[in-house]
Amino acid sequence: ITAKQAKTPPLIPTEGSNKVKMTTEMGCMCLQCVRTNEVGVVEDLGQFRTLIDPGLHFICWPFTAVAGRLTLRIQQLDVVCETKTKDNVFVQVAVAVQYRVLVGSAYDAYYRLSDPRGQIQSYVFDVVRSSVPRMELDDAFASKADIAAAVMTQLRDVMKDYGYEIINSLVTDLSPDSKVKASMNEINASRRLKEAAAHKAEADKVKLTKAAEAEAEARYLSGLGVARQRKAIVHGLQASVSEFSKEVDGAKPKDVMDILLLSQYFDTLSTIGANSIILEHDPATVANLQRQVGQSFLRNTGSA
């Protein structure tokens, strides 16, 4: 057998299937190679004979031939399905299904299904179009794992009977119309603007409250200061009257108070005069003021 005759025939994959078909060349085809992670299907005159493992094999060609090869590697099928949600929004759901051929069930995988990818795709369409219409758009985005689990559950048992193992099922994308996306973004932006306005109003409220509390505290402290000032003035006047009465013989406290009132009166006049205010002046004003203050004290004492 020459090297050309022993050459492995080229592999031509069939579209829509994981079966690998062969083309024959003229010459002896007794030596066949099966690649790693593949299994070969051997037929005698069109009837299944056995499965061959990876490596070099001798067959009695043309009575015996390798009808096809099945890859044992994990494969992925991407399915895009259009459906409608409960709130009447059309979405494109992309599902990725990862699967492989079971070595012990290679016979079923080769002879029982002519198009395994089409079979998987049909089941994915069925699950997606029966699950998503029961959900609203927001719920569909939040339930991608549930959709993937439903696809996985539906496919696992069915495809196992045909010699295929479903490794995983993933919802890779859920895309509504571009106008729906834009409206959802506007709703989200409006909600965030509303929250920002509420936080700003709350901040302004806190600022005004703190300013009012600070003003009230300042006025309270100012009142305490004025009260202490007046108390100090009274104590000072009392001490002055007492000392003056002791130092000057025959001086009465009333005389001292008259002198203090007169000095306070002149101080008041000087202060008012600095502001260019014209007032009527009478020397008897001090006596009248003293009499009025005394009558006020007596009236308040009598009413108490």
Give the model's pLDDT for residue 4: 39
Give the model's pLDDT for residue 96: 92
CA distance 191 to 166: 42
Mean pLDDT by 10 residues, the chain (304 residues): 40 44 44 83 82 81 82 89 86 90 85 86 89 86 87 87 88 82 77 85 90 90 85 76 70 67 70 60 64 62 56
CA distance 115 to 222: 93
> What separation, in Å, do the N-terminal and C-terminal C-alpha atoms of the chain show?
139
Residue position matching structure tokens 């439903």: 150
CA distance 109 to 97: 17
CA distance 175 to 89: 10
Report the DSSP beta bridge partners of residue 78: 96
Give the model's pLDDT for residue 256: 66
CA distance 288 to 294: 10
Give the model's pLDDT for residue 10: 40
Please state the pTM of the whole predicted model: 0.52
Give the model's pLDDT for residue 155: 87
Report the DSSP beta bridge partners of residue 55: 34
Phi, psi of 150 (to 5 degrees): -65, -40
CA distance 228 to 235: 10
Distance set, CA 181 to CA 86, 133, 174 (Å): 17, 18, 11
- Please list, in sequence order, all residues whose beta carbon lies within 8 angstroms of the beta carbon of residue 72, skipping any fewer than 6 positions away: 37, 38, 39, 100, 101, 103
Strands 11-13 and 64-71: unpaired
